[in-house]
Amino acid sequence: MDLDLRWPLILFTNLLLLWLLRMVNHSLGPYGITIFLPALFIFLPALAFRLRWGLLLVATTALLQSAYQPGQFGFEVLLYTIVLTVLFANRVALRRASSWQQLWVLFLINTSIWAATTIIQGADWLGYGHYWYRSLSDLLISTLLLFPVGAWFLRSQNSLLVIVGLNPQGRNDD
């Protein structure tokens, strides 16, 4: 088994983003706003890593996220690994896509994960209008932030890998 040295760096950036999101969400909590950006944890591992390393990276990030989320523990792991597997199957086309196209893919991923989380984890509240109002307003605010934060985060991850002398795209023999 080859050791991929990019793995700890990307895990560090994922954990840094997770920490920043927790701080922002804690500050926005009194206003009833939650920023939801899980697509950022999944996108680069799907494009740049072999499947086993990508799954390990995403599962680790999801477990640490799941530890602080209300609801079923480990739900994020299952959801994120499914999304990673779908992205991994399409990684060749996604690598060729422009930055804007990749950001739109991030939007689709984020919205899909939001929908699955909202429906499955909020099954008891689906009949209440205020639940949908809160969920849809969180999605709208998160979507507005996804484009600038997503562009910054993906560039930062790639730049970090280049700075330490590692190839951001990894090997193509997976």
| pLDDT reading at 173 higher than 50 | no
pLDDT tens sequence across 80-116: 999 999 999 999 999 898 989 999 999 999 999 999 9
- Distance (Å, whole) CA 108 – CA 126: 22
71: its two tokens: 């609801």
Q: Which of 148, 163, 117 is nearest to 12 (CA)?
A: 163
156 pLDDT band (50/70/90 cuts)? very high
pLDDT computed for residue 48 by the predictor: 87
| pLDDT reading at 171 higher than 50 | yes
**Residue 17 CB coordination number (10 Å):** 19
Count, residues in the chain:
174
pLDDT tens sequence across 3-27: 677 888 899 999 999 999 999 999 9
159 or 122: whose pLDDT is higher?
A: 159
Helix (DSSP H) and strand (DSSP E) numbers for the chain: 7, 0
- Distance (Å, whole) CA 46 – CA 43: 5
| pLDDT reading at 174 higher than 50 | no
| Chain centroid offset of residue 48 CA | 14
Burial of 132 (0-12, 13-18, 19+ CB in 10 A): middle
78 or 125: whose pLDDT is higher?
A: 78
CA dihedral sign, ordered 137, 141, 147, 152 = negative
